[in-house]
Amino acid sequence: MPQQADCVFCKIVAGQIPSAKVFEDDACIAFLDIGPLADAHLLIVPKEHYERITDMPALEFAAVTLRIPQLARAVMEVSGAEGLNVLQNNGQVSGQAVPHVHIHIIPRRQGDGLGYRWNAGKYPEGKLQQLQRALAGALGT
């Protein structure tokens, strides 16, 4: 996928707009989120432009996720956080504001007031098995 001229993360990758970059390799860059949910909130971004992970070849996404443990350890060390969330949004409905794949590393502390509505549901009789069959069919497994 080529870079996209009107994409803010493509511009950061190309160095056309500044970012507080902390890591770079052939596949990705990592920089501080400009609107942090906590100090040291990082974004990991593939260098190639893809809007969603469902658009990405698996190995290209793997090359980005490969860096998560290393970057997360640095975030933990620098922020002194007690935990972290790895968050990756796809599509406006999920909260994706920048349409270029990115992974958030968000440091967490007791009482930080973050978190999200985890409205766990309950499947009606038969629904779980129906979804299992549908997904297995989609996966050809």
Task: Kindly list the residues in this chain that would bind Zn ion in the complex (CB under 5 A).
Answer: 4, 7, 9-10, 49, 100
85 binds ligand 5GP (CB under 6 A): no
What is the nearest approach in angstroms of Zn ion to the Cβ of residue 7?
A: 3
Q: Check residue 31 for interaction with ligand 5GP (CB under 6 A).
A: yes
**Sign of the alpha-carbon dihedral angle for 84, 86, 91, 94:** negative
Q: Which of 23, 74, 98, 108 binds ligand 5GP (CB under 6 A)?
A: 98
In angstroms, the Cα distances linking 103 to 95, 100, 110 are 13, 10, 22
Asked if residue 121 binds ligand 5GP (CB under 6 A), the reply is no
From the list 33, 52, 65, 68, which residue makes contact with ligand 5GP (rule: CB under 6 A)? Answer: 33
Residue type, 132: Q
19 binds ligand 5GP (CB under 6 A): yes
Known catalytic residue at 100: no
If we measure between CA atoms, which residue out of 48, 54, 1, 50 comes closest to residue 25?
48
- Distance in angstroms (rounded) separating the CA atoms of residues 137 and 139: 5
Q: How far apart are CA 102 and CA 118, in angstroms?
A: 22
Q: Is 93 in the site for ligand 5GP (CB under 6 A)?
A: no
Interface residues with ligand 5GP (CB under 6 A)?
Answer: 8, 19, 31-35, 43, 89, 95-98
